[in-house]
């Protein structure tokens, strides 16, 4: 059921009016027309907003060069898909690239509106979709990047993730039932022990748990989110479900949220605001009513009892004689040549599969013992190392001002340069998770980091300059909790000595002896 909200209703905010006037998915029919008239002539609401329902993002920073956000359930793609994506970005020369995102996904850049019909045909031919990946839709559904490979895994969730995506997106073709949510929505399904998905920052997350009967299923947490105004960790819903119930529970929660979520103020529309208004007991009861049956209470404990792994390096799979190899991709950025090479490596040394992580890195699985040495000698592994330096290893960064108009600072290039300088000055016994994000929207998740840096504007020598707010204390994996802001408005030019001191005082770094 799509909601029937009158576009004339005065209480509707700008985005509710845009959605009420015309469903986002409707622009699918207009793509050939858009291709003919060019980006400058497209109606602004279609170009700047509705195209995001198809995963096509107008970039005010690079007008005419669109971004395309895909969907990669569980972060898995094939070499054939990677080759098609490489073909797509290659035709844009220096403007074309791809970023691995903090939701285990890929975003392509440089896209021209006139090419979109052809791009969609090519993607369709290899089973890729970008539908419903932006605006008031459910984002890429995340899972352990080693689902089905990891010997310690409890539930292989890959099929479940695909089923939830298919339910929400109408098998990747677009599903008007879920194209008018009050706001964006994040779902994660964890089948392993280390909370690789950051369950705590999703609107719905499933974490493995044994029911008192001994059956293995999931405890459910709800309402986790970050926004400029408020950040909350997810709270237990007091529900346990079997794997067979995951899709229907997702559907019921989405329907309850769609039909009852708050729509007046975009800053107060995420699921947690509805849970606040109703209280958890009523929210749970409404979901049960939508489902048409009662839900089992949560299992007394979940099975998240490991520290989070980053998967960089070589690890044996549960399949004897096979390994997965985690490559470090600096701040997640790929170019066409890298993408072709990755597809080739996955085919030559593995079974063609490639996996992405929420740390913006990637994994080549299914490498036989006998092929490992040869893979490790490949030139691409110089660029995407299995032994990155300790700070680079855990560095995560959002897009920042290079492409994002919300950004208050440049992030990816600055983060990479600063981390390299710090690594040249300091010895570190361990990796330190540093996350950069260009504005308070927190796409780079500074609150989950040991050291989080959030872009801001600040004053220095009487001038407005790029700066950061400093977050400390984020803990991931078992007993995950969010970090908090400890210092505001550090000019980026003054940041390196602050980080250096912090790494020495709190993370055991020692100055290198020259
Ligand atoms: Fe995000 C909006 C990039 C993960 C919270 N995010 C945006 C936009 C679309 C803004 C825009 O139109 O320019 C950014 C696109 C910039 C670009 O050109 O790349 C953007 N978000 C990203 C990515 C690419 C960051 C990255 O470099 O990895 C991530 C894409 C994930 C994906 O594949 O779908 C990304 N964004 C996140 C996360 C992290 C997560 O999901 O774990 C968050 C915080 C978690 C959450 O949503 O609760 C996040 N993004 C936001 C918000 C704040 C949402 C809110 O409720 O207020 C916005 C702004 C908005 O929606 O109004 C936003
Ligand atoms: Fe853009 Fe801000 Fe998100 Fe970074 S955190 S990608 S700057 S919206």
- Whole-angstrom distance, CA of residue 235 vs CA of residue 202: 10
CA–centroid distance, residue 98 to ligand 2 (Å): 16
Residues 313-334 have pLDDT tens digits of 999 999 999 999 999 999 999 9
Percent share of the chain, pLDDT over 90: 97
Specify the residue with its C-alpha closest to ligand 1, atom 17.
404
CA–centroid distance, residue 136 to ligand 1 (Å): 12
- Whether 208 shows a pLDDT value over 90: the answer reads yes
Q: Is residue 224 annotated as a catalytic residue, yes or no?
A: no
Q: How far is CA 127 from CA 57, 72, 77, 163, 326, in A?
A: 21, 10, 10, 14, 24
- Whether 1 shows a pLDDT value over 90: the answer reads no
Q: Residue 505: which pLDDT band, with cuts at 50, 70 and 90?
A: very high
- Output the pTM of the full model: 0.97
Residue with tokens 């680079």: 392
Pocket of ligand 2, beta carbon within 6 A: 398-400, 404, 406-407, 437-439, 441-444
- Whether 8 shows a pLDDT value over 60: the answer reads no
Check residue 400 and give left, alpha or beta (phi > 0: left; psi -120 to 50: alpha): left
Dihedral sign from CA coordinates of 233, 238, 244, 250: negative
Percent share of the chain, pLDDT over 70: 98
Mean of per-residue pLDDT scores for the chain: 96
In terms of residues, how long is the chain? 514
CA R_g for the chain: 22
Domain 393-511, CATH homologous superfamily name and number:
Sulfite Reductase Hemoprotein, domain 1 (3.30.413.10)
- Whole-angstrom distance, CA of residue 462 vs CA of residue 426: 32
- Whole-angstrom distance, CA of residue 353 vs CA of residue 80: 9
Residues 342-367 have pLDDT tens digits of 999 999 999 999 999 999 999 999 99
pLDDT at 69: 98
Are residues 484 and 471 in contact, defined by beta-carbon separation less than 8 angstroms? yes
- Whether 412 shows a pLDDT value over 70: the answer reads yes
Q: Is residue 96 annotated as a catalytic residue, yes or no?
A: no
To test the ligand 2 pocket, which listed residue (201, 400, 403) has its Cβ within 8 A of the most ligand atoms?
400
To test the ligand 2 pocket, which listed residue (437, 445, 453) has its Cβ within 8 A of the most ligand atoms?
437
3-state SS track over 193-235: CCCCCCHHHCCEEEEEEECCCCCEEEEEEECCEECCCCEECCE
Specify the residue with its C-alpha closest to ligand 1, atom 36.
443
pLDDT at 282: 98
Task: Write the CB contacts of 267 (distance below 8 Å, at least 6 apart in sequence).
Answer: 227, 228, 229, 230
pLDDT at 286: 98
CA–centroid distance, residue 270 to ligand 1 (Å): 14
- Whether 310 shows a pLDDT value over 70: the answer reads yes
Q: Is residue 393 annotated as a catalytic residue, yes or no?
A: no
User: If one looks up domain 56-130+315-387 in CATH, what number appears?
Assistant: 3.90.480.20
Q: Residue 513: which pLDDT band, with cuts at 50, 70 and 90?
A: confident
Specify the residue with its C-alpha closest to ligand 1, atom 45.
226
Q: Is residue 122 annotated as a catalytic residue, yes or no?
A: no
Residues 65-92 have pLDDT tens digits of 999 999 999 999 999 999 999 999 999 9
Domain 132-309 belongs to what topology?
Answer: Sulfite Reductase Hemoprotein; domain 1 (3.30.413)
Of ligand 1's listed atoms, the one at least distance from the Cα of 231 is: 48
Q: Is residue 350 annotated as a catalytic residue, yes or no?
A: no
pLDDT (mean) for 162-184: 98
**Residue 114 phi, psi (nearest 5):** -70, -20
Candidates 47, 69, 284, 309; catalytic one: 69
- Whole-angstrom distance, CA of residue 317 vs CA of residue 323: 5
Are residues 453 and 472 in contact, defined by beta-carbon separation less than 8 angstroms? no
- The candidate with the shortest Cα–Cα distance to 206, out of 295, 267, 268, is 295
Of ligand 1's listed atoms, the one at least distance from the Cα of 102 is: 28
CA–centroid distance, residue 360 to ligand 2 (Å): 15
| b/e map 376-404, b = 16+ CB within 10 Å | eeeeebeebbeebbbbbbbbbbbbbbbbb
* DSSP assignments along 302-354, one per residue: -S--SPPP---EEEE-SSTTEEEEEE--GGGEE-HHHHHHHHHHHHHHSSSEE
Candidates 47, 52, 59, 183; catalytic one: 183
Work out the angle at residue 81's Cα, subtended by the Cα atoms of residues 80 and 82, and round it to the nearest 5 degrees: 90
Task: Write the CB contacts of 259 (distance below 8 Å, at least 6 apart in sequence).
Answer: 1, 3
* Fold match between domain 56-130+315-387 and domain 393-511: no
- Whole-angstrom distance, CA of residue 18 vs CA of residue 185: 19
**DSSP label at residue 385:** -
pLDDT (mean) for 398-421: 98
pLDDT at 24: 96
Domain locations in the chain? Answer: 56-130+315-387, 132-309, 393-511
pLDDT at 9: 46
165, with CB counted inside 10 A (0-12, 13-18, 19+), is buried
CA–centroid distance, residue 360 to ligand 1 (Å): 14
CA–centroid distance, residue 443 to ligand 1 (Å): 4
Pocket of ligand 1, beta carbon within 6 A: 57, 59, 67, 69, 99, 101-103, 105, 107, 133-134, 139-140, 183-184, 186, 201, 225-228, 270, 398-399, 403-406, 441-443, 445
Q: Which ligand is closest in space to the CA of residue 447?
A: 1
Task: Write the CB contacts of 54 (distance below 8 Å, at least 6 apart in sequence).
Answer: 24, 25, 27, 28, 31, 120, 130, 131, 174
- Whether 2 shows a pLDDT value over 70: the answer reads no
Candidates 333, 443, 452, 483; catalytic one: 443
Residues 92-117 have pLDDT tens digits of 999 999 999 999 999 999 999 999 99
Q: Which ligand is closest in space to the CA of residue 396?
A: 1
- Whether 4 shows a pLDDT value over 70: the answer reads no
- Whether 6 shows a pLDDT value over 90: the answer reads no
Are residues 262 and 250 in contact, defined by beta-carbon separation less than 8 angstroms? no
pLDDT (mean) for 204-233: 98
């Amino acid at each position: 059921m799509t909601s029937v909200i009158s576009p004339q209703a005065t209480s509707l905010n700008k985005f509710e009016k845009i959605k009420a006037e015309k469903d986002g998915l409707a622009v699918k029919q207009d793509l050939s027309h858009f291709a003919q008239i060019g980006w400058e002539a497209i109606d602004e609401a279609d170009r700047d907003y509705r195209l995001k329902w198809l995963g096509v993002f107008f970039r005010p920073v690079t007008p005419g060069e669109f971004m395309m956000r895909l969907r990669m359930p569980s972060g898995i793609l094939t070499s054939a898909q990677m080759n098609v994506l490489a073909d797509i970005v290659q035709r844009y020369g220096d403007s074309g690239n791809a970023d691995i995102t903090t939701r285990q996904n890929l975003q392509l850049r440089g896209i021209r509106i006139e090419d979109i019909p052809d791009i969609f045909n090519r993607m369709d031919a290899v089973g890729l979709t970008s539908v419903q990946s932006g605006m008031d839709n459910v984002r890429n559904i995340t899972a352990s990047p080693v689902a089905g490979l990891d010997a310690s895994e409890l539930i292989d969730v890959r099929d479940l993730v695909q089923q939830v995506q298919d339910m929400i997106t109408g098998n990747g073709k677009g599903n008007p039932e879920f194209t008018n949510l009050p706001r964006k929505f994040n779902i994660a399904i964890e089948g392993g022990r280390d909370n690789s998905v950051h369950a705590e920052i999703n609107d719905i997350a499933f974490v493995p748990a044994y029911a008192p009967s001994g059956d293995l299923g999931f405890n459910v947490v709800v309402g986790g989110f970050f926004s400029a105004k408020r950040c909350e960790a997810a709270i237990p819903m007091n529900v346990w479900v079997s794997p067979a119930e995951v899709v229907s529970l997702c559907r019921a929660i989405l329907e309850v949220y769609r039909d009852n979520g708050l729509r007046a103020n975009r800053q107060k529309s995420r699921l947690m605001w509805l849970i606040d208004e109703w209280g958890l007991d009523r929210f749970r009861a409404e979901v049960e009513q939508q489902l048409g049956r009662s839900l089992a209470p949560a299992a007394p404990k979940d099975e998240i009892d490991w520290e989070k792994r980053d998967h960089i390096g070589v690890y044996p799979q549960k399949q004897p004689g096979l390994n997965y190899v985690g490559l470090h991709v600096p701040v997640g950025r790929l170019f066409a040549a890298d993408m072709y090479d990755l597809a080739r490596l996955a085919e030559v040394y593995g079974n063609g599969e490639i996996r992405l992580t929420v740390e913006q890195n990637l994994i080549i699985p299914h490498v036989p013992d006998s092929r490992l040495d040869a893979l490790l000698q490949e030139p691409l592994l110089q660029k995407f190392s299995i032994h990155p330096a300790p700070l680079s290893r855990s560095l995560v960064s959002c897009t920042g001002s290079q492409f994002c108009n919300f950004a208050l600072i440049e992030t990816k290039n600055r983060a990479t340069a600063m981390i390299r300088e710090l690594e040249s000055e300091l010895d570190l016994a361990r990796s330190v998770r540093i996350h950069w994000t260009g504005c308070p929207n927190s796409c780079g998740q500074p609150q989950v980091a040991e050291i989080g840096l959030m872009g801001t504007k600040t004053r220095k020598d009487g001038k407005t300059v790029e700066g950061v707010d400093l977050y400390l204390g984020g803990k991931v994996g078992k007993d995950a909790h969010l970090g908090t802001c400890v210092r505001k408005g550090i000019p980026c030019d003054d940041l390196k000595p602050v980080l250096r001191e912090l790494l020495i005082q709190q993370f055991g770094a020692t100055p290198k002896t020259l």
